[in-house]
Structure 1
Amino acid sequence: MRSVSLAFAILRLLADAGPLTLSDIGRSLGLSPSSCLNLLKTLAGEGAIERAEPGKRYRLTAAWQAAALLDNGGAAALAERARPLMLRFAQRSEAAVGLWAAVSRERMQLLAHAESDAGMRLRLADEQRQPLGGGAAGRALAAAQGVDARELARRFAPVRWQAALDFETYAAQVREAAAKGFAVDEGFAHRGVVTVAAGLAEPRPGFCLSASIVAGSRSAAEIEALGDALRQLRDALGAGGVADAGR
């Protein structure tokens, strides 16, 4: 019976997070590589999942995706609800806006993004991944989830910052994000880029909205206002609001 339960857990994970590697799936569900591989082979043999290139990731087959049997209001539904709000926010703020999902204990992935039509603008790469603790998104998600110091240090350890950042400063920034409702990264993750982010602990596995602008293009007060506006968008999205959000 446990194997049946684990098989459905894999299917729900792929429905929510999209294509994942064997390692991602195993870490997310606490499975050994051999046990995870056996379950994946069984699900592939039954036509529920398939291998997706590049990266040798597993995904639901088109038939299972179309049937929406595993849609529990997770990533797909959230991204669908978020896209029009993100586009309005991007146009109004002239920022590159992203919706991220935690896809494993190590990584988050971009689910959806929107950009303004300004002449000079940033653009996020489709389906890009980053360390779970990286950038403003990593800080914001940790703040929203209320992770303890040990987990925060685990998330921080593998991140390669483009500007020097020690753990004590990072932890203080996470605490500040928890108090404000949004996090700020000013050139630590990417030189020349300022990003604000607001995390959603629910629905699981955890999501985050981000908005990125060119460094030096806004005053400190304007960056704070951008973060506060993104927090309001996060709150509307988390509450399922569409009609009034982003106006």
Structure 2
Amino acid sequence: MGRIELLTELRRLTFKIIIHIFLGASSTSVMEALEKEYTKLNYGMRALRIDLPGFAFPKAFKARKNLVSIFQNVVNERRKEKLENPNKTTKDMLDQLIDAEDENGRKLADDEVIDIMIMYLNVGHESSGHTTMWATLILQQHPQYFQKAKQEQEEIVKRRPANQKGMTMKEYRQMDFLSKAIDETMRYITFSLMTFREAKRDVKLNGFLIPKGWKVFVCYRAIHQDPQVYPNPRIFDPSRFDISMFSNTNFWLAIGVNGLCLFSC
């Protein structure tokens, strides 16, 4: 049997999915160009700030400019399509951003639309690839949970009408155990380890005063491995997320507050 780099392939898969969410049935050439430039940007965001030729940091700056250029061409084409076909019913994320307006009727400018797309490209793709990889590996290490998740999927497929193509949102909502297994995976491995915040005003928290201007460091892993919050924290147990056992999600900080990425709040 051949060998693959699981994380690399899952990154490609999640990238393809998120681009489909963003742009719908986009061309292969556009997707490949976006993936190429995003990879450079991603490496640069995690590199030392060495602004010299050949290093990842300056390559990331150039890659972001290239991403903006690619997205600008897509936005221009989409605006042209909307003028030619104003009654278009199917909408992807780009359509929603172009059509969005605030309470005063102001719509997003092109650079704002593109900034949002690049931001969500990062936070939506990277964490999804890593979480999928870890969930795959951990379920393989726990065959009892793997079989339960597999059986759930098989039952959903059996109930599917013969003429149905692809998965529906209704089916997705029926994946109760798999959802718990993924939630427990994010607790167990804690993809996003920490975050930093600054107090914009004096804050009282559990009897302590955090003065305005102070920096706050939150360690997600310490919370997820706290036995007072999660009994036997080093044991992988999806049943933690049964409502009867774990109804308070304030301590679940997979990639942000209650599992929501802080970068998207």
Q: How high is the TM-score relative to the length of structure 2?
A: 0.25
- Larger radius of gyration between Structure 1 and Structure 2: 2
Higher relative contact order (CA 8 A, sep 6+): 1
Q: Which has the higher strand share?
A: 1
Q: How high is the TM-score relative to the length of structure 1?
A: 0.27
